[in-house]
Chains A and B, each alone.
Chain A
Amino acid sequence: MGLFDFAEGREGYYGKFGGTFLPEILHATIEELKACFRECKNDPSFWREYVELMQSYSGRPTPVTYLPNLSAKLGGAQIYVKREDLNHTGSHKVNNVIGQGLLCKRLGKKRVIAETGAGQHGFATATMAAKFGFDCTIYMGAVDVARQRPNVFWMENLGAEVVAVTDGQQTLKDAINEAMRDWVTNMADTHYVLGTACGPHPFPEMVSWFQSIVGLEAREQILAQTGKLPNKVFACVGGGSNAMGLFQGFLDDDVELIGCEAGGHGPESHQHASRLAYTDASLGVAQGYKTYFLQNEEGNMNETHSIAAGLDYIGVNPIMAYLWEQGRVRFDAATDDEVRDALRLVMSTEGLIPALESTHGFAKALQEAAKMNKDEIVLINMSGRGDKDIFTVADALDDNKWKHFISQKAAQYAQEKNS
């Protein structure tokens, strides 16, 4: 039975994970969304239109790139990378966003709202809204607004309204709560474009479906290039959408799948966002679904930490939690320090600049590749590009010349203001 062939009365459940835990006021809206999504999923012309649009608008199919220098340097497995960074807006987020944009058109709604953490999803949503002519409001934690100004700049210039959320920890989870509050008020004309494969059913299934384009392409590409399947496939896991996307291409194959979470300051620190690789998290129900959450014993959520804002989240995709429990996906976590080292190595040997999120996948993949045989293959999802997030990457690498440049810039702006 496939993951999405739900048993009677268990729609939206993957083992004990998933479900729909929403206020009564949203029941009708979710039913409408489920019906529309079913219709789209059963209509081959919808997927065709989606793929064509991803080709013409976002440059799909994204290539699979062989990394000869790094493979030779580590002396183990041959390393390949799926290049989601080459999408328009610089990450895999656009796959989901364009899919939901097409679906929103079918729903006949005129306005989209979204939450964003790092700003990638908000940026992609603002792009889509501009293209499709939707009104757009993006909810973003005030802490994230402060640390991701460049993405806020683009969202606003693309015509979106960016609302800084000052509740709670003022990060991604609080932005999700605020988007929900908007939705329970404005659902008649508004679609909520959830950014990852989390939240209430049908979002985990729907986002995974749009992201499956990554795995479908990658399987064909790696077979064409190497004549065989990879031995191990790595992807970073925040909410779990890029990983679900790539992994779906290999679920029925004899291929090991490894989800890489944010290890932050390490397993003992409690300053991380690792729900499955570390042992802090427990089963709970929040933000519309049941999964492993980083929470205390009374069910209130803990603070999380990651060098990568896009992985800094309390919960995890319920499908991924199920695949983990079944032993189909293994989980590991990369610490902030491991991520910094991996980023430097990948940049200097291959000239690739993965996003800090994606670098979590690289960090674990490179460690394991070094111990594998030369005739084995490792595939990594490069879910996004890092060059766009120059402020965060420069901070992560603690770059003194960059700091000097920014101080000069600040002084210049101050002078302009005073004169």
Chain B
Amino acid sequence: MSLREYLATSRGDKPMQIMAHVVCGYPSFEDNMRELEIMAANGVDVVELQFPFSEPSADGPLFVRANELSLKAGTTVEQCFDFMAQVSGKFPFKVLMMGYYNTIFKMGEEKYIARLKEAGGVGFIVPDLPIEEAGELYSVADREGISPIVLMTPTTSDARMEVLGKAASGFVYVVARKGVTGSKTQMGDDVSALVKRVRQHTDVPVAVGFGISSREDIDFLKDIADIAIIGTAALKTWEEQGPEAFDALFASLTAR
């Protein structure tokens, strides 16, 4: 089943679908597994597994540290793929790879896509690979039924949205504001207008990410977008308040 078909069937009567994020190997693979169990129990629809990279330039402070400490603990690309295979076999949600292009480049694009598929991944998000450089990777992915996730941002022109929209597969990742991951986004007219603009250029589902942290954000987004992306807020809760609060966060985000 393609990512898009899966999203259509898993929608049900949820207010929004939820995509959550973990950095592989941080705080540890065991912690990751417990986080994912809680996410699954709360009906999370999609999970992005971030493969740590030494130069995570699109990430904010919390994820930068997570990338760094995971690598310091010895996390390898193979471990991340093995973990992905375990996770995709165990849980109902779909799994995407999130990471930086050098990880893929060093492995080789063909081999990367083959390994991703083998591990049960259905797509990938690579924030430092612009569409102009992505031609070959996207066509290998397409051949193998893997979805490259395209990003659109507040600074993306209509003309460029048209180009990106043509390459979109699975869903579009709308970056709600300028900046890196981590800080809060003020949900308001800017975000609505951006999502409206995105919809004019693509008919795949729209996911909104960057700074989503609360039920209020979901209530705001549920009428305009399809998927809410929870990143930093989840890790922050896990680190500062532990598993119970983490569970409560996802319960409130996914409540009907």
CB-CB under 8 A from B156, the residues of chain A are: 24-25, 27-28
* Chain A 174-231 residues near chain B, CB threshold 8 A: 176-177, 180-181, 184-187
CB-CB under 8 A from A186, the residues of chain B are: 178
A21 within 8 Å of B by Cβ? Answer: yes
CB-based contact B130/A25 at 8 Å? no
CB-based contact A21/B56 at 8 Å? no
CB-CB under 8 A from B106, the residues of chain A are: 282, 284, 295, 297-299
How many angstroms between the C-alpha atoms of A181 and B127 in the bound complex?
Answer: 13
Q: Which residue of A lies closest to B151 (CB)?
A: A24
In the complex, which of the residues B60, B76, B151 contacts A23, with contact meaning CB atoms closer than 8 Å?
B151
Q: Which residue of A lies closest to B103 (CB)?
A: A299
Within the complex, the shortest CB–CB distance from A27 to chain B, in Å, comes to 7
CB-based contact B102/A299 at 8 Å? yes
B128 within 8 Å of A by Cβ? Answer: yes
CB-based contact B153/A25 at 8 Å? yes
Q: Which residue of B lies closest to A169 (CB)?
A: B54
CB-based contact A22/B128 at 8 Å? yes
CB-based contact B130/A28 at 8 Å? no
Q: Which residue of A lies closest to B132 (CB)?
A: A20
- Stretch binding the partner chain, chosen from B10-18, B63-71, B221-229: B63-71
CB-CB under 8 A from B248, the residues of chain A are: none
CB-CB under 8 A from A185, the residues of chain B are: 178-180
Q: Which residue of B lies closest to A12 (CB)?
A: B132
In the complex, which of the residues B65, B100, B175, B180 contacts A24, with contact meaning CB atoms closer than 8 Å?
B175
How many angstroms between the C-alpha atoms of A282 and B105 in the bound complex?
Answer: 11
CB-CB under 8 A from B64, the residues of chain A are: 167-168, 177
CB-CB under 8 A from B133, the residues of chain A are: 19-21
CB-CB under 8 A from A187, the residues of chain B are: 155, 178
Contact A284:B102 (CB < 8 A) given known A185-B178, A300-B54: yes
In the complex, which of the residues A20, A25, A177 contacts B56, with contact meaning CB atoms closer than 8 Å?
A177
CB-based contact A181/B57 at 8 Å? yes
In the complex, which of the residues A21, A176, A177, A181 contacts B130, with contact meaning CB atoms closer than 8 Å?
A21
Contact A298:B55 (CB < 8 A) given known A28-B155, A184-B179: no
Most chain B beta carbons < 10 A, residue from A20, A288, A299 = A299
* Chain A 276-291 residues near chain B, CB threshold 8 A: 282, 284-288
In the complex, which of the residues A20, A27, A284 contacts B105, with contact meaning CB atoms closer than 8 Å?
A284
CB-based contact A181/B180 at 8 Å? yes
A271 within 8 Å of B by Cβ? Answer: no
How many angstroms between the C-alpha atoms of A167 and B63 in the bound complex?
Answer: 11
Contact A184:B180 (CB < 8 A) given known A28-B157, A167-B65, A168-B54: yes
B: interface residue count bin: 35 or more
B34 within 8 Å of A by Cβ? Answer: no
A301 within 8 Å of B by Cβ? Answer: yes
B245 within 8 Å of A by Cβ? Answer: no
A29 within 8 Å of B by Cβ? Answer: yes
How many angstroms between the C-alpha atoms of A288 and B101 in the bound complex?
Answer: 10
CB-CB under 8 A from B160, the residues of chain A are: 27-28
How many angstroms between the C-alpha atoms of A186 and B156 in the bound complex?
Answer: 15
Within the complex, the shortest CB–CB distance from B64 to chain A, in Å, comes to 5
CB-based contact A298/B77 at 8 Å? yes
How many angstroms between the C-alpha atoms of A27 and B159 in the bound complex?
Answer: 12
A83 within 8 Å of B by Cβ? Answer: no
CB-CB under 8 A from A282, the residues of chain B are: 106
Shortest 5 CB-CB distances between A and B: which pairs?
A299-B106, A299-B102, A185-B179, A300-B54, A25-B153
| Extra inter-chain contacts (7) besides given A24-B127, A25-B178, CB under 8 Å | A20-B130, A29-B155, A168-B55, A181-B60, A295-B54, A295-B102, A301-B54
Question: A residues touching B (Cβ–Cβ < 8 Å)?
Answer: 19-29, 167-168, 173, 176-177, 180-181, 184-187, 282, 284-288, 295, 297-301
Give 22 CB contacts A-B under 8 Å: A20-B133, A21-B130, A23-B57, A23-B130, A23-B151, A23-B153, A24-B127, A24-B130, A24-B152, A27-B160, A28-B160, A167-B64, A168-B68, A177-B55, A177-B56, A185-B178, A185-B179, A187-B178, A295-B54, A298-B106, A299-B53, A300-B54
